[in-house]
């Protein structure tokens, strides 16, 4: 982790266990808006600090307007990855939704890395990486 984020193939990841799930989207939006995180890829924030001690992690993603113009749709990516995990495991692992520029998901904590890997490779294809 460098400068507060980790670089993956198709995205940047901010994973701060202290950030509450209620503000993770705001935190990553501010990080990208203030150029702390580059805007050439989406940024995904992870929060395991849930308000109700849930077994779920909250993931929140933001993509710059230029990425949307290039065809990136975070909602579609998050929903697709959630569907893949749910079908593979034959149970509800993840739920996702949102908009092209901003999406979120609730994921069983034990599947966060798998969700991130699939999301990264899917976004890399959108970005031609």
Mean pLDDT of 80-100: 95
Q: Residue 2 pLDDT more than 70?
A: no
Q: What is d(CA 15, CA 44) in angstroms, rounded to the nearest whole number?
A: 8
Q: Please state the φ and ψ torsions of residue 34, each to the nearest 5 degrees.
A: -95, 5
Q: What is d(CA 69, CA 73) in angstroms, rounded to the nearest whole number?
A: 9
Tokens standing for residue 79: 């929903």
Does residue 129 sit within a domain? no
Question: Can you give the pLDDT at residue 3?
Answer: 72
Does residue 52 sit within a domain? yes
Does residue 1 sit within a domain? no
Question: Can you give the pLDDT at residue 71?
Answer: 92
Provide the pLDDT confidence category of residue 57 given band limits of 50, 70 and 90.
very high
- The CATH number linked to 98 is 3.10.310.40
pTM confidence score:
0.92
Mean pLDDT of 93-114: 96
Q: What is d(CA 48, CA 12) in angstroms, rounded to the nearest whole number?
A: 17
Q: Residue 53 pLDDT more than 80?
A: no
Q: Where are the alpha helices (DSSP H) in the chain?
A: 24-33, 65-69, 74-89, 112-127
Does residue 72 sit within a domain? yes
């Amino acid at each position: 982790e460098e400068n507060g984020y980790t670089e993956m193939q198709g995205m940047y990841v901010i994973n701060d266990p202290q950030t509450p799930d209620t503000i993770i989207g705001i935190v990553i939006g501010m990080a990208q808006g203030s150029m702390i995180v580059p805007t050439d890829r989406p940024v995904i924030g992870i929060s395991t600090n849930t308000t109700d001690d849930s077994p779920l992690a909250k993931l929140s993603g933001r993509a710059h307007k230029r990425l949307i113009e290039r065809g990136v749709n975070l909602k579609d990516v998050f929903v697709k990855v959630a569907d893949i995990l749910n079908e593979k495991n034959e149970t509800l692992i993840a739920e996702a939704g949102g908009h092209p520029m901003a999406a979120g998901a609730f994921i069983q904590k034990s599947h966060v890395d798998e969700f991130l890997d699939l999301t990264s490779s899917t976004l890399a294809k959108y970005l031609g990486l």
